[in-house]
Structure 1
Amino acid sequence: MTTIAALLAEKAAERPDAPLFLLPASVQALWGAKACWSYGEVQAEVARLASAFAAAGYGPGHRVALLLENRPEHFLHWLALNSLGISAVPLNPDGSAEEFGYVLGHSGAVLAIALEARAGHVRTAAAPLGLPVIGPGEVPPPAPAAPGGQTGEEAEAALVYTSGTTGKPKGCILSNLYFLNWGRWYAAQGGAISLRPWAERLMTPLPAFHVNASGHSFMGMLTTGGAQVIVDRFHPRNWWYEAAETGATCFHYLGVMPAILLELPEGPEDRAHGMRFGLGGGVHPDHHAVFEARYGVPLLEGWAMTETGGACVLCAWEEPRVLGSRCIGNPARPGPAMEARVVDDMGADVPDGTPGELWVRAAGDDPRRGLFSGYLKNAEATAEAWAGGWFHTGDVVIRDAGGRLYFNDRKKNIIRRSGENIAAIEVEGAVASCAGVAQVAVVAMPEPLRGEEVLAVIVPKTGQDEAALAQAVFDRCATQLSYFKVPGVVVFVDSLPTTSTQKLRRADLGALAEAPLAAPRSHDLRARKQGLRARSDQ
């Protein structure tokens, strides 16, 4: 099997009546959609759409932008385009006209398909480019001549732009093999994460323009004959009810989701579901065991990147699991074979127990096989990412003697204070455990004497005395962390900048970090911190 569309055709021929997409009643009402799409129905609609695209002249080498939210239409159009060798460029529904303009222009898309309610910014961005914009139910206009290109597993299936937490987003070229590997990885796993053929129903609130939902979730279900339970977004109060309603057996999550679900009042719905596991990343260590005990669902922490896909993905499903440790799994796992190293800033391997950057590659003769095919129009960034024949993830991990990896932080988020390396995520965990803190981001601020100091940017819960909360945060961190990791400055804000996938946009905190004490809600705790050091030296 060499394309995503060919895999669909094979599965539809095997069991045409099996469900592929399931929608809870609330989503059906919101979108005016039906409850279920079977494999056979999806295949028939994909063939109909593909015929229309082909008749209009679309073919290999073309790219078509899609803004269809999480709806089945997103997957239907993507599969139809894939069957013709056309690459999809998914757009973030919450994007601005400026952001759309960059992606549409940079990608060279020849058509955009957008929901009418979301099409305004797309049309604004497309007009200067002379790019046609149509709705999902419209006949595609005539296409420019198809430039031609690769076919089969190495052909481009999607061009997915990174979230752009720093600078302009980069367009990741993703092949059919990239997506097929997602499904093959999922199908090969064991233990709590094992997928039963034609039996699983995976519920994900994550956006379809992101590879977690379109790659990991969808390809896992398509490969094993499962169904994707589609919701418009994460609705915590409906979560367990809709899981029971749709018969969901597993789900994907972001780290913030377990924390939000734990804030719900306890009730019979906590266990009135058939969820076998949740797969995701970033659950707060203090929430891990608590969540599993309350809801009866193991949270299996994993790791992957848009660039690595299913060729290099990790999941900590092997028993005995180490809850609350940020363990992300062992590279010596089933599925497409991968290799991994943990290295220092010079690219030398570090001893077990020592933080270092994670480098990965596919095993075998071609280290890039099945990973992203490169950054579009950015050979320099591609070469930099692959320096030395390994993909440099930018993630700092710690390897134990058994080969398991534990997530430490993004390399660029390491704060270097007086020669000590401090992981922002570790400090964030300590701050977040303090009552009164709703959200927190920890970043480096320039400090003449020590190079950098720890700055905690906090969204307080309603009704907090901020001066008292700043002191409480300091006290809490002082009991959990080495003195040098305790925040030296705290600044309170109303909200934190995030991407549409709820990733913190740390770059947007740059101006605040340059002069945090100029902020009206800042609290300088460095004198107290110096006192901690004095006590630690005694």
Structure 2
Amino acid sequence: MNLADTLHRTATEHGLRTAVELSGSSLTYAELDTASGRVAALLTGRGVDPGDRVGVMLPNGLDFPVLYYGILRAGAVVVPMNPLLKPREIAHYLRDSGAVLLFAHEMCAAEAESGAEGTAATVLPLSASTLTELLAEHPEPAAPQPRAEDDTAVLLYTSGTTGSPKGAELTHANLSRNADICARSLFRLTPEDVILGCLPLFHAFGQTCAMNAAVAAGARLTLMARFDPAEALRTVHDRGVTVFAGVPTMYAALLTARTAQPVAYDTATLRMCVSGGASLPVEVLHGFEKAFDAAVLEGFGMSETSPVACFNHLDRPRKAGSVGTPIEGVELRLIDVHDGVGELCVRGHNIMKGYLGRPEATAEALRDGWLRTGDLARVDEDGYYYIVDRKKDLIIRGGFNVYPREVEEVLYEHPAVAEAAVVGLPHPTLGEEVAAAVAPRPGSDVTADELREFVRERVAPYKYPREIRLVEALPKGATGKILKREIDFGDA
């Protein structure tokens, strides 16, 4: 088995169909397959052996899938890297993975060169024409290298909220089956579908739910180099997008843009939208569905689960606020349950092999085949799961548990709130105090006092945020996920 075999099969059946496009440039499936085969030949010619790690540090573009599938085709392991990483972070990725080669976009080539100093990796800077020139030296595509199901295909580094980022080893079987289930069972993709690829392809969500799922179905992937809500609306209109996959902040931004956009783009082609990466506020979900007349299906996953673990299925009732039920071949359960809330654990074909070179961290996360996610959840009588919060985000105020998501949901109900994040701040007597950072909608003159009173009227006395900080925008990671640890509350 080799994940690259999926592309080869699709190219055989749908070679003339467009595989991927961006800003007027595109590749058919036949062209993508051939180019990836030539990348494999290039790597072999440079002494890259099966099992070697090769870094890819690129923004969304046509070169990403070419290199991704080419590295896999050579039997090597893809190490996707955020092009915004700094030298010390790059050095960690390269040393920890043992990468022998790093493809780096010209915009981050200098940072990559600096980070690679003292590592085993050679940096290949890529401009608009560099890859074409490199591949010209290897006109004959190499055949896909056979790999075992449990051989590592991709090394995905976690966000590293505790200590240095860890490399989750995802196998060919992990990723192939997760992409197949997304394409066949969850999204019901056909070759006629057009997926809008706003999510970065170096992230698990973008890789599996956009790129690999599209390839598995022979669908078209329309990429955006970076997410812009107005441009996304234009793309849906111009390209006839049928499936959108994004994180909650993207849905909130699209909803705001739809209201403010002077040009009414036709988005009637959208048949379904997929949300993941964080909990989607119920008010945003309802507002989006009303404005766009398209179903939003929320799911749950993480890098360690390839990434999809559960989902709201098209052929079953949807429940707002729920991440759905386990996907095909996956089991979920709760442990350490108190008042109906426990830590969510996952078992199935989607679970990573482990953290590279971290046997203790692997043993801590994987116990008897069950992955401990660190997420707190509850399950209803129909088997639908609801993420309450991250275990580490739980606020304990004076001995009472406060789940930030519950308070955030209330804040999102206020018409002036565009984004909200709730965290716990140290308190000398209570242990922690509830605090919120809020980005108001443009033109709003809402005050912190008004928001505080709004929440206080709707939750128990120990839950409402005593400290509310109004900001222009909340800090976000590469996928658009709000980074709570980077919110500045000053001396509060």
Match of 2:201 among 196, 208, 220: 208
Whole-angstrom CA distance in 2 between matches of 1:186 and 1:459? 33
Whole-angstrom CA distance in 2 between matches of 1:53 and 1:250? 34
Which stretch shows the higher mean deviation, 496-505 or 173-182?
Answer: 496-505
* Aligned partners of 2:230 and 2:261 also within 8 Å: no
User: Which residue of structure 1 aligns with residue 169 of structure 2?
Assistant: 173
Whole-angstrom CA distance in 2 between matches of 1:485 and 1:350? 18
Change (3 A) 1:463 1:275: closer
User: Which residue of structure 1 aligns with residue 141 of structure 2?
Assistant: none
Change (3 A) 1:48 1:150: closer
* Deviations, residues 49-105 of structure 1 (Å, cap 9, x unaligned): 211211222111211111121111111111111111101111101111111111111
Shift of 1:461: 6.0
Q: Do structure 1's residue 228 and structure 2's residue 221 form an aligned pair?
A: yes
* Aligned partners of 1:183 and 1:216 also within 8 Å: yes
Whole-angstrom CA distance in 1 between matches of 2:368 and 2:351? 16
Q: Do structure 1's residue 408 and structure 2's residue 388 form an aligned pair?
A: yes
* Aligned partners of 2:79 and 2:154 also within 8 Å: yes
Whole-angstrom CA distance in 2 between matches of 1:301 and 1:61? 35
User: Which residue of structure 2 aligns with residue 129 of structure 1?
Assistant: 119
User: Which residue of structure 1 aligns with residue 140 of structure 2?
Assistant: none
Q: Which has the higher strand share?
A: 2
* Aligned partners of 1:271 and 1:295 also within 8 Å: no
Amino acid at match of 1:176: H
User: Which residue of structure 1 aligns with residue 292 of structure 2?
Assistant: 295
Whole-angstrom CA distance in 1 between matches of 2:332 and 2:444? 45
Task: List gaps (5 residues or longer) in structure 1.
Answer: 29-33, 142-148, 363-368, 523-538
Q: Do structure 1's residue 339 and structure 2's residue 331 form an aligned pair?
A: yes
Shift of 1:438: 4.7
Structure 2 length as normaliser, TM-score? 0.90
Whole-angstrom CA distance in 2 between matches of 1:108 and 1:431? 45
Shift of 1:328: 0.7
Whole-angstrom CA distance in 2 between matches of 1:79 and 1:63? 13
Whole-angstrom CA distance in 2 between matches of 1:111 and 1:278? 36
* Deviations, residues 406-440 of structure 1 (Å, cap 9, x unaligned): 12111111111233211111212223444554543
Look up the SS of the partner of 1:129 in the other structure: coil
User: Which residue of structure 2 aligns with residue 365 of structure 1?
Assistant: none
* Aligned partners of 1:436 and 1:469 also within 8 Å: no
Change (3 A) 1:244 1:495: closer
User: Which residue of structure 2 aligns with residue 501 of structure 1?
Assistant: 479
User: Which residue of structure 2 aligns with residue 44 of structure 1?
Assistant: 34
Q: Do structure 1's residue 240 and structure 2's residue 233 form an aligned pair?
A: yes
Whole-angstrom CA distance in 2 between matches of 1:405 and 1:204? 27
User: Which residue of structure 2 aligns with residue 5 of structure 1?
Assistant: 4
Look up the SS of the partner of 2:303 in the other structure: coil
Whole-angstrom CA distance in 2 between matches of 1:258 and 1:494? 18
* Aligned partners of 1:342 and 1:350 also within 8 Å: no
Shift of 1:499: 2.1
Amino acid at match of 1:376: L
Amino acid at match of 1:361: R
Q: How does 1:9-408 map to 2 (within 5 A)?
A: 9-23=8-22, 27-28=23-24, 34=25, 36-129=26-119, 131-136=121-126, 137=131, 139=134, 151-189=147-185, 193-196=187-190, 198-264=191-257, 265=260, 269-281=264-276, 282-309=279-306, 312-323=309-320, 326-331=321-326, 333=327, 335=328, 337-344=329-336, 354-362=340-348, 369-408=349-388
Change (3 A) 1:340 1:183: same
Look up the SS of the partner of 2:395 in the other structure: strand
* Aligned partners of 2:205 and 2:307 also within 8 Å: no
Whole-angstrom CA distance in 1 between matches of 2:268 and 2:231? 12
Change (3 A) 1:404 1:47: same
Q: Do structure 1's residue 446 and structure 2's residue 426 form an aligned pair?
A: yes
Whole-angstrom CA distance in 2 between matches of 1:85 and 1:182? 20
Look up the SS of the partner of 2:56 in the other structure: strand
Whole-angstrom CA distance in 1 between matches of 2:182 and 2:444? 45
Amino acid at match of 2:273: G
* Deviations, residues 108-136 of structure 1 (Å, cap 9, x unaligned): 11111112122110011112325321134
Change (3 A) 1:166 1:429: farther
Q: Do structure 1's residue 482 and structure 2's residue 455 form an aligned pair?
A: no
Amino acid at match of 2:256: E
Whole-angstrom CA distance in 1 between matches of 2:265 and 2:284? 16
Structure 1 length as normaliser, TM-score? 0.82
Change (3 A) 1:292 1:386: same
User: Which residue of structure 2 aligns with residue 145 of structure 1?
Assistant: none
Shift of 1:310: 5.4
Task: List gaps (5 residues or longer) in structure 2.
Answer: 138-144
Which stretch shows the higher mean deviation, 181-190 or 112-121?
Answer: 181-190
Identity value in percent: 29
Q: How does 1:427-442 map to 2 (within 5 A)?
A: 427-434=407-414, 437-442=417-422
Amino acid at match of 2:227: F
Change (3 A) 1:388 1:103: same
Whole-angstrom CA distance in 2 between matches of 1:155 and 1:79? 15
Change (3 A) 1:399 1:135: same
Look up the SS of the partner of 2:275 in the other structure: strand
Whole-angstrom CA distance in 1 between matches of 2:268 and 2:83? 31
Whole-angstrom CA distance in 1 between matches of 2:422 and 2:111? 33
Whole-angstrom CA distance in 2 between matches of 1:279 and 1:469? 33
